[in-house]
Each structure stands twice: as structure tokens, then as C-alpha cells.
């Protein structure tokens, strides 16, 4: 059984970070808990077999007893919005009513540095295939556009406008952070939807980072879930 030494960190391709800070239960917890149905007992090998059987039978309620608290840092606001649509989870998000985009950091207007504050599409870092041919010119346009937004925001705040109102001029790709507590059942639903190629590239990369963490703490569960659900190919691609 893997030893859990928090936090467990995984970077998100394109920017951002997922940290697992706390966990309730271990890889075999759902199997141990499911035994209440028959008041049965089992050794580790029997519990491993039972866990796989539960996944095959789609008997998912025991997986609600396995809970993860993630800290997700530096994701674009619109990916945060997609994450918040998953109602069976408990999020708590950074507030741009009370914080400025440059809090705790200095904004430098180079692609790599700016990408830490505002998400720049992965196409411009060649992380994703594209047919954009004037990339050098466009990345400069993006940087200038973001610079104008941020400078106008700063001017509005310095002029006395509330931060919560001044943020109206900030770019949609502004990066945010949140805590996200979710149980394994709901996480499986999340992965089913967000590892799929139908989901946006950015949230797929976030889902892949979550899976890499799960492989470190609940390898039997995640490996069998991905195989049984047919999602393994999407995780590996």
C-alpha cells in the first residue's frame, strides 16, 4: 500500500499545479466498507479482488467514503468555472473581489512569465498542434492586449474604484486557485467527463494531473477504473 506523504504535487501541462493535501481512506477503503453489507471480513488479497468487483458491478457508493482534498493552483478562470459545475464536491475559490492579479507576484510581459498569471493558449508554446502560421506576431498581440487590460485595472484601482468592479476589464484567462474536496465516486464522474477528447484541452490536462496523483495514492482503484471505463487511452494520449 503506498504511503501518503502530503502534499503530493503534479504540474498541469500548459500551466498550473494540483496538490493533494489530505486524504480520507486508502486504496482498499471502499472494499473494507462494502463488507458491512454481509458483515464479512477479508484479508488484503480478498479486499483487492472485492475492490475490482465493485468497479465492475458499478457499485459505486462505497467509493464515497474515500475523500480527497486538493489545492488547485493557477488555472484559467473559465476552467475554474467548468470545475465548479461538478456539484458533488466542495470548492473554495480565490476571490478577485479582494485580491489583485499581481498579488504575491511581479508581472513581467514575456510569454513564460505572463503565462503564470494569465493563461496563454498552449498552441503558442507548441504544446498542442495547430495550423496558426503567424504565431510570433499573434503572441505579441496577446501580450499587448493583456498588458493593456492589467494596466487599465491598476489605473482604475489607483483611482479609487473597488477591486471587485475594476476586475471587469481583466482577461478571461486570468489564473485562479481553489481548494477542491471531492470523494472518489464524484471524482470518477469528473474523470469520465473531463478525460474525454470532447472536453477542453486545458481541463483534460488538469484531469490527467489528478490521475497521476491518484496513481501515487490509490493505484489499484484508479488503474482498474480507467481500464474498466475505457478511459485509459485518453489518459495515456
- Mark out the alpha helices in the chain (DSSP H runs): 29-34, 44-57, 77-84, 111-114, 135-158, 163-166, 184-194, 201-217, 219-229, 232-236
DSSP 49: H
Nearest distance from C-beta of residue 66 to ligand FAD, angstroms: 16
Site string for ligand FAD, 163-192 (x = CB under 6 A): -----------------------x--x---
CA–CA dist 221, 218 (Å, integer): 6
Asked if 56 interacts with ligand FAD (CB under 6 A), we say no
Q: Cell 489530505 identifies what position?
A: 22
Contact yes or no for 148/109 (Cβ under 8 A): no
8 A C-beta contact, residue 39 and residue 33: no
Report the nearest approach of ligand FAD to the CB of residue 159 (Å). Answer: 36
Minimum Å gap between C-beta 75 and ligand FAD is 16
Within 64-93, the residues that bind ligand FAD by CB under 6 A are 85-88
| Residue 128 annotated among the catalytic residues of the structure | no
Complex with ligand FAD: residue 161 or 199, whichever CB lies closer: 199
Can you read off the three cell numbers belonging to residue 22? Answer: 489530505
3 vs 26, 164, 202, CA distance in Å? 9, 43, 30
Task: Specify the residue, 99 or 193, whose C-beta has the smaller distance to ligand FAD.
Answer: 193
193 binds ligand FAD (CB under 6 A): yes
199 is a contact residue toward ligand FAD (CB under 6 A): yes
Q: What is the DSSP string of 56-100?
A: HHT--GGGGG-EEEEEEEEEEHHHHHHHHT--SSEEEE--TTT--
Q: Is 131 in the site for ligand FAD (CB under 6 A)?
A: no
Tell me the closest approach of the beta carbon of residue 226 to ligand FAD, in angstroms: 17
For the CB of residue 11, give the shortest distance to ligand FAD in the complex, in Å.
23
Of the pair 160, 197, the CB lying nearest ligand FAD is at 197
Q: Could you say which of 167, 175, 185, 194 is catalytic?
A: 194
With contact defined as beta carbons under 8 Å apart, do 72 and 187 qualify?
Answer: no
Which residues are bridge partners to 136 per DSSP? none
- Could you say which of 58, 103, 131, 198 contacts ligand FAD (CB under 6 A)? 198
Catalytically annotated residues: 194
| Residue ranges in contact with ligand FAD by CB under 6 A | 85-88, 186, 189, 193, 198-199
Amino acid at each position: 500500500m503506498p504511503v501518503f506523504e502530503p502534499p503530493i504535487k503534479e504540474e498541469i501541462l500548459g500551466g498550473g499545479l494540483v496538490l493533494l493535501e489530505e486524504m480520507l481512506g486508502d486504496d482498499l477503503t471502499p472494499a473494507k466498507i462494502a463488507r458491512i453489507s454481509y458483515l464479512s471480513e477479508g484479508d488484503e488479497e480478498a479486499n483487492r479482488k472485492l475492490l475490482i468487483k465493485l468497479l465492475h458491478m458499478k457499485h459505486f457508493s462505497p467509493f464515497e467514503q474515500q475523500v480527497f482534498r486538493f489545492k488547485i493552483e493557477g488555472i484559467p478562470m473559465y476552467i475554474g468555472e467548468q470545475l465548479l459545475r461538478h456539484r458533488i464536491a466542495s470548492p473554495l475559490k480565490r476571490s478577485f473581489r479582494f485580491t489583485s492579479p499581481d498579488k504575491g507576484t511581479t508581472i513581467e510581459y514575456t510569454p513564460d512569465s505572463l503565462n503564470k498569471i494569465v493563461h496563454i493558449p498552449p498552441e503558442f508554446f507548441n504544446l498542442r498542434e495547430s495550423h496558426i502560421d503567424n504565431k510570433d506576431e499573434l503572441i505579441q498581440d496577446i501580450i499587448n492586449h493583456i498588458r493593456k487590460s492589467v494596466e487599465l485595472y491598476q489605473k482604475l484601482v489607483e483611482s479609487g474604484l473597488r477591486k471587485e468592479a475594476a476586475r471587469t476589464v481583466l482577461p478571461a484567462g486570468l489564473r485562479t486557485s481553489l481548494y477542491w474536496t471531492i470523494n472518489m465516486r464524484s471524482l470518477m464522474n469528473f474523470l469520465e467527463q473531463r478525460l474525454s477528447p470532447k472536453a477542453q484541452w486545458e481541463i483534460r490536462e488538469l484531469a490527467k494531473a489528478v490521475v497521476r496523483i491518484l496513481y501515487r495514492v490509490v493505484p489499484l482503484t484508479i488503474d482498474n477504473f480507467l481500464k474498466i471505463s475505457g478511459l485509459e487511452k485518453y489518459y495515456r494520449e
